[in-house]
Amino acid sequence: DRRRTGEALRAFHTAIRSSPGSSRSQAMKEQAQGTMLKVLTSFKSSEIEQAVNSLDRNGVDLLMKYIYKGFEKPTENSSAILLQWHEKALAVGGLGSIIRVLTARKTV
Amino acid sequence: MAYHSFLLEPISCHAWNKDRTQIALCPNNHEVHIYRKDGAKWSKVHELKEHNGQVTGIDWAPESNRLVTCGTDRNAYVWTLKGNVWKPTLVILRINRAARCVKWSPKENKFAVGSGSRLISICYFEQENDWWVCKHIKKPIRSTVLSLDWHPNNVLLAAGSCDFKCRIFSAYIKEVEERPSPTPWGSKMPFGELMFESSSSCGWVHSICFSASGSRVAWVSHDSTLCLADAGKKMAVASLCTETLPLLAVTFITENSLVAAGHDCCPMLFTYEESQGALTFGGKLDVPKQSSQRGLTARERFQNLDKKASSDTANATLDTLHKNSISQISVLTGGKDKCSQFCTTGMDGGMSIWDVKVRNPRGPLRLG
């Protein structure tokens, strides 16, 4: 079970790291969104806080962008787990991280 | 700290006279009211009525005791005290949008006005014609100029704009001054020369400030960031993504420390670590008094859970001194290098004076 947690965490960091920063391709962005959503929903509630704490400031901002992207296109049950991610990310990133989702010129 | 509630509406802008006995402010209308300190009270002593639109900027020249005001009516006025009456002189800015900010230069022989016309008007007095004329700095500004600050050499001017950039221009006017000597920002300073331009942040630049020496400039943007450019490090920019709501005003209080405030309604301390080129958050300077928390009944808990999805007992009122966003900060005593007192005004119509105490010269700053 710890192995499963470790894999989820690794998948999470990989998804964060390989986020297409200044990609203009809508297809690439959507693929990254889909991957990130899959990773986020694969976490157990109890594991979320640890994952958020393992990120640096830029990572938290990026996570917050993906969370709101996930809210934009809700699937069955996705919002529930995203809200839990939101609560933990907000605790670390503060309202500033949400402001930066709203003001970002480069969206995820 | 001391808080005085002047109005029930926002204070649009304010400026202090030299000895800090009088404050000029715009009470969210077309006028400027001047209040004088009478012991513990403030009495209104003047009402300046000339603008046809909201007054968006006021600056009080400490040595020559002149006021300059600018407003949404696209005008600026220079006010001189004659006896006990403030007499206005119209300055034609040649802009077709609202003026948004105004600042006297350190030598008080020029002032700069930022406007929605996407340019800066540099105004100076022409002796032969006995009136104020202005020159424009336009390129490469692409949107409203929200804030201005002068370098101590009276020539360089920092401007924060809605096009997300902080820029430093030369506002050298050969009619009123000598050629400036080189600074860490550059040596050639013809009028309008762009000496520095930041890469885009993602937010309107609300406020900008030079350090006392002029070798650093800091600005706050609407994307909740604070940035600082250090000319001593080849204009390297340090930036900090804050956890707060956007900041609207910033000032240096020492060469390495800044106070900023904004939509979180309380001033915050930031420190610049020169060796690492990093900005860090130093804490909120407004420590709310702990309000007594009475227990919630089970019914109230359920209602909270139902309405707010949280059983948090935190109440909905603000614990900060200011009850609405702080829109302006001004240094009162000590200058920008050894500030011991600063003032904040905000959208709650209140004005607050804050004391800065330095425990030991190398220790952290504390608020009194």
Question: Is B117 within 8 Å of B164 (Cβ atoms)?
Answer: no
Amino acid at B361: P
The predicted structure's pLDDT at residue B289: 59
Residue B214 φ/ψ region, left for φ over 0, alpha for ψ in the -120 to 50 degree band, beta for the rest: left
Show residues of chain B in contact with A22, CB under 8 Å. Answer: none
Task: Report phi then psi at A63, rounded to 5.
Answer: -60, -45
The CATH T-level fold of domain A2-103 is 1.25.40
Please indicate whether residue B2 or residue A4 has the higher confidence score (pLDDT). Answer: B2
| pLDDT tens column, B112-140 | 999 999 999 999 999 899 999 999 999 99
Under-50 pLDDT residues of chain B: 360-364, 368
Top residue of B220, B224, B266, B325 to mutate, by most chain A CBs within 10 Å, is B224
Q: What is the dihedral of CA A98, A99, A105, A106, to 10 degrees?
A: -20
- Give the total residue count for chain A: 108
Q: Do B244 and A94 touch (CB under 8 A)?
A: yes
Of A58, A97, A105, the CB nearest to B202: A105
Q: Do A96 and B202 touch (CB under 8 A)?
A: no
The predicted structure's pLDDT at residue A18: 84
Q: Do B202 and A57 touch (CB under 8 A)?
A: no
Q: Domain map of chain A by residue range?
A: 2-103
Chain A closest-CA separation from residue B185 CA (Å): 29
Burial B328-362 (b: 16+ CB within 10 A, else e): bbbbbebebeebbbbbbbbbbbbbbebebebeeee
Q: Domain map of chain B by residue range?
A: 209-287+318-358
Show residues of chain B in contact with A103, CB under 8 Å. Answer: 202-203, 222-224
Q: Is B184 helix (H, G, I), strand (E, B) or coil?
A: coil
pTM reported for the whole predicted model = 0.91
Work out the end-to-end distance of chain A between its first and last CA atoms, rounded to an integer number of angstroms. 31
Work out the end-to-end distance of chain B between its first and last CA atoms, rounded to an integer number of angstroms. 6
Partner A contacted by B14 (CB < 8 A): no
Amino acid at B213: S
B157: nearest Cα among B115, B126, B191: B191
User: Is a pLDDT exceeding 70 seen at residue A1?
Assistant: no
Q: Do A96 and B203 touch (CB under 8 A)?
A: no
Supply B253's token pair. Answer: 């209080």
Q: What is the CATH number of domain B209-287+318-358?
A: 2.130.10.10
Interface of A with B (CB under 8 A): 57-58, 61, 93-97, 99-100, 103-105
Pairing mode, strands B41-49 and B55-60: unpaired
Kindly indicate the confidence band of residue A5, based on its pLDDT and cuts at 50, 70 and 90: confident
Show residues of chain B in contact with A61, CB under 8 Å. Answer: 241
| Look-up of token digits 């958020």 | A52
Show residues of chain A in contact with B241, CB under 8 Å. Answer: 57-58, 61, 96-97, 100
Chain A closest-CA separation from residue B228 CA (Å): 18
The predicted structure's pLDDT at residue B368: 44
Q: How far is CA B352 from CA A47, A87, B5, B268, B286, in A?
A: 45, 34, 8, 14, 11
The predicted structure's pLDDT at residue B293: 53
Please indicate whether residue A26 or residue B52 has the higher confidence score (pLDDT). Answer: B52
The predicted structure's pLDDT at residue B58: 98
Count CB-CB contacts under 10 A for residue B82: 8
| Rounded distance between C-alpha atoms, residue B114 and residue B202, angstroms | 20
B229: nearest Cα among B253, B204, B201, B260: B201
Of A58, A96, A105, the CB nearest to B224: A96
Of A57, A97, A104, the CB nearest to B202: A104
Of A95, A97, A103, the CB nearest to B203: A103
Q: Do B223 and A57 touch (CB under 8 A)?
A: no
Please indicate whether residue A15 or residue B332 has the higher confidence score (pLDDT). Answer: B332
CB pairs under 8 A between A and B: 38
B14: nearest Cα among B5, B22, B23: B23
Q: Do A57 and B242 touch (CB under 8 A)?
A: no
Q: What is the mean pLDDT of residues A1-11?
A: 78
Show residues of chain A in contact with B243, CB under 8 Å. Answer: 93-97
The predicted structure's pLDDT at residue B358: 65
| pLDDT tens column, A28-71 | 888 889 999 999 999 999 999 999 999 999 999 999 999 999 99
**For A92, nearest residue in chain B (alpha carbons):** B243
Chain A closest-CA separation from residue B88 CA (Å): 41
B88: nearest Cα among B36, B131, B140, B27: B131
| Rounded distance between C-alpha atoms, residue B282 and residue B270, angstroms | 5
Top residue of B165, B199, B223, B248 to mutate, by most chain A CBs within 10 Å, is B223
Q: What rounded mean pLDDT belongs to chain A?
A: 90
Top residue of B201, B205, B241 to mutate, by most chain A CBs within 10 Å, is B241
**For B204, nearest residue in chain A (alpha carbons):** A103
Q: In a 10 Å sphere around its CB, with 0-12 CB exposed, 13-18 middle and 19+ buried, how is residue B307 labelled?
A: exposed
